Amino acid sequence: MKIAEGIFSVGSVDWDLREFHGYSTPYGTSYNSYLITGEKNILIDTVKPSCTQEFIQKIESILPVGKIDYVISNHAEMDHSGLINWILSRSNATLICSPKGKENLEKHFHAKYERITVVENGQTIKIGPYTYQFFHTPMVHWPDSMCVYLIEKKMLFSNDAFGQHFACSRYFVDEVGLEVILREAKKYYANIVNPYGNSVKKVLSALATLQIDMILPSHGMIWRDQHQIKTILDKYSAWASNQPGKKILIVYETMWGSTKKMAEVCYVEAIKKNIESEQFNLQVNDISDVVAEMPDTKMILLGSSILHGQILPKMAGLIAYLTGLKFANRRAWSFGSYGWAKASFNKFETDIKNAGFDMPYDGFYVQFVPDKSALESLKTQLNSRIFNA
Ligand code: FEO
């Protein structure tokens, strides 16, 4: 697919992907690679090895692989670098990457590169008619990450930044709709980039000096409409601030329905107070969809039953996941049902606090099945304290 004169998208669409190391991908994804042709031929990133055939067919429909002169590797993770060695072994291409990229590619492939140019942050290289400027973007989201700005075309090849897991036969955000793509970009940010907000701020500050006519990420749709480019840059700036939104999330896992009853009371009471709320049962919802809502959330209510002296396993997985994702400036409250050991909730509360949440109030726990009076007491606690926190 021609993106601009002499510039092609040659990546692969992974229509069937439904899970990306723990992240649910109901719309699949794409591994975007870009080929800039002319006096010299430059390939930016490759694809996941399982998508080799489509990738090679797309390149070979434009030029033989052996004619590639340079391969820019923006990031060593294998969904983008999986075929770097394949290309290098079938051409005389020179590899261009960051210092950490060199180190990490060598450690992935157990290889030493002879034809390699290691680029410093801000460095420019003139190749053929174009000037390429390299911006290191460490921890957005790996130490080796970088992006490339094609100065004469005002195109930013941003790798994972500004991407979305979204398989589509189209190429541009404006062909699909901003609302749909922003929703997936937010899920991507929350699940992959959120721990690195301070690094994102530094990258945004470096990019602020550039006139950007197109952002070409390594997953999903390309941003080319000026209003939409401004929107995604502003969204990244807002998400990087890790500030709370307005929503309350009610997330639970239940054995025999007692915790579910309590979750439903939480939801109904929140709605009565006109608080925007979402309810997630972890038996049918993926933790990455819970996390996708976190940028818009001010408080999360977490409920579980107790089994073998522990909270249920999907809830334990969510807490571990949230701990790594480092959301800040948000509150939490816990609730649930136990059989004989209420003290089992102590660790639940400690783990939620260790995940970075402020918990000003003790949780609400009921033995076996909540009766009418327990549910009334729950309502009173929600309305007198929790929703006012
Ligand atoms: Fe899409 Fe960090 O790889």
Residue 12 has a pLDDT of 97
Is residue 110 among the annotated active site residues? Answer: no
pLDDT tens digits along 267-289: 999 999 999 999 999 999 999 99
CATH number at residue 355: 3.40.50.360
CA of 80 to the centre of ligand 1 (A): 7
Chain CA centroid to CA 105, Å: 22
Distance (Å, whole) CA 215 – CA 213: 7
Q: Are residues 192 and 256 in the same domain?
A: no
Percent of the chain predicted with pLDDT > 90: 99
Cβ pair 174, 228 in contact under 8 A:
yes
Q: Do 65 and 179 reside in the same domain of the chain?
A: yes
Cα distance between residue 99 and residue 277, in whole Å:
45
The structure tokens 């929790």 sit at 386
In total, the chain counts a number of residues equal to 389
Q: Assess whether 6 and 92 both reside in one domain.
A: yes
- The contacts of residue 5 (CB under 8 Å, 6+ apart) are none
The average confidence (pLDDT) of the chain is: 97
| Same domain membership, residue 253 and residue 233 | no
R_g of the chain computed on alpha carbons: 24
Of 240, 262, 287, the domain-final residue? 240
Structural domain harbouring 313: 249-388
Residue 256 has pLDDT above 90, yes or no: yes
Residue whose CA is at the smallest distance from ligand 1 atom 1:
160
Q: Rounded mean pLDDT of 123-147?
A: 97
pLDDT per residue as tens digits for the range 189-226 = 999 999 999 999 999 999 999 999 999 999 999 999 99
**In a shared domain, residues 126 and 156:** yes
- Regarding the beta carbon of 219 and ligand 1, being less than 6 Å apart is answered yes
| Catalytically annotated residue among 5, 21, 110, 179 | 21
Helix, strand or coil for residue 334? strand
Sign, CA torsion 324/81/106/137: negative
Beta bridge partners of 333: 301
Predicted confidence (pLDDT) at residue 83 exceeds the cutoff of 80: yes
188 belongs to the catalytic site: yes
Find out whether 324 and 195 touch, Cβ atoms under 8 Å: yes
Q: Catalytic: which of 188, 236, 338, 365?
A: 188
Q: In terms of domains, do 205 and 83 share one?
A: yes
Which residue's CA is minimally distant from atom 3 of ligand 1? 77
What are the helix and strand counts (H, E) for the chain? 13, 22
Ligand 1: nearest atom to the Cα of 160? 1
Average pLDDT score over residue span 1-16 = 97
Please state, in angstroms and as integers, the Cα–Cα distance from residue 365 to each residue in 70, 116, 310, 354, following that order: 62, 61, 14, 20
Shortest-distance atom of ligand 1 to CA 31 = 1
Last residue of a domain, one of 240, 262, 288: 240
49 and 22 in a common domain: yes
**Under DSSP, is residue 23 helix (H, G, I), strand (E, B) or coil?**
strand
Give the number of domains in the chain: 2
How far is 231 from 296, CA to CA, in rounded Å? 16
- Residue 256: Cβ within 10 Å count: 12
Where residue 6 falls among pLDDT bands split at 50, 70, 90? very high
Residue 287: the pLDDT is 98
Last residue of a domain, one of 175, 206, 240: 240
CA distance 359 to 349: 8
The answer for residues whose C-beta is within 8 angstroms of residue 198's C-beta and 6 or more apart is: 240
**CA distances from residue 111 to 45, 89, 146, 337 in whole angstroms, order as listed:** 18, 12, 21, 54
Residue nearest to atom 2 of ligand 1 (CA): 77
With a 6 Å cutoff on the Cβ, whether 253 touches ligand 1 is: no
Told to judge if 213 belongs to the known catalytic residues of this protein, a careful annotator would answer no
If asked whether residues 59 and 153 sit together in one domain, one would say yes
pLDDT of residue 388: 86
CB distance 62 to 10 below 8 Å: yes
**pLDDT of 316 strictly over 80:** yes
Active site (annotated) includes residue 16 = no
> What percent of the chain shows pLDDT beyond 70?
100
Give percent helix, percent strand, percent coil of the chain, each to the nearest 5: 40, 25, 35
Q: Looking at the predicted structure, is the pLDDT value of residue 389 above 80?
A: no
180: left (phi over 0), alpha (psi -120 to 50) or beta: alpha
